[in-house]
Structure 1
Amino acid sequence: MRFNLLSSFAAGVLIATAICGGVYFSSDHGSSKKTDKTVESKTQTAAQPSESEMKNKLASAGYVVQTKAEYDKHIADAKTASQKSASSNDKSNKVIYRVVFKVTDGMTSIDVGKLLVKAKIIDDAFKFSKDVENKGIENNLRPGTYEVDSEMSYNQVISTIFKP
């Protein structure tokens, strides 16, 4: 940049700043805001309805108006009722999984365990296989169709599939 061009730019910025500053300090915008606020606050306080008027307006519009203590009591009662109904429904809403599967030649106890895990009858296929081996009945797995459900005990599931 040339020196003349740079000094012209600086002079333009200085003149613009001086004009903006003069306009800012010459206007009386600060005192008008204060008077507007006081006028607004006076009109707002006069226009606010009383507590009983607000409750009546809300009730007529279909809202339920209650104190915090009433609300807390209502919530506590609802929790107690839901806990009672949940405890009574736990026994009647128990989900029972039933599976019918086919054992083919070449399947092992770990394969059967994986099928039972997918059917949500047992939790761990490897543990199932180890339990079968510990009982010494891993050779009793025969091809066929078997039916088990989640209501059966762990040992009943094993004895149903691995018959001697």
Structure 2
Amino acid sequence: MNAVAVIEAAVPASPREEWLNRGKNLGAERRDVDWRLADWLSEGKAAGHLDQAGFDFLADNLGIGPAKLKLIHKAAAIPTHLRDTSLTVEHHAHVAELPVQEQIELLTEAKRQHWSDDDLRKQTITRKVETGRAAMLSQEEWDDLSRMQFLHVWNRASVAAREDIAELVSQSHMRCIDA
């Protein structure tokens, strides 16, 4: 029996490719560490080690802000088998309160469209409102929704209407405007 073996010579990566690969590996490691932190925070909360004061204590001692820690912890609600490791824990935190099918849909779209976690946060807020779950919005999300709606209207208003609104806002000293 005659057999022919083909052996391909390894082509060394260029210095730029090596540098890019190191960056990709670091990014993957960072996402992995965030997930490990998320699961660790969940363990601590389940064991009764973590309350609001605990988040503040950890923020001071880990060098991670309390808001970031809460996002990381929120993401841990998504089961391991539903996590997309190419997206950040922040991406997952923004969809964590949605039903599983909607989590999957939005995470898939975020990956396909290369959405930032902020883009996904806005899409999640919009989805909650569109599906009648506005009651699920936190105060921060309500504020974000208000800003999004204001910008939507502002960007479609005529210059004259924008000038009128700007004048009313400047005269209001940040109080309610009756117009």
The structure showing larger relative contact order (alpha-carbon pairs under 8 Å, at least 6 residues apart) is 1
- The structure with the greater share of residues assigned to strand is 1
TM-score (norm 1): 0.20
For the pair shown, the structure with the greater C-alpha radius of gyration is 1
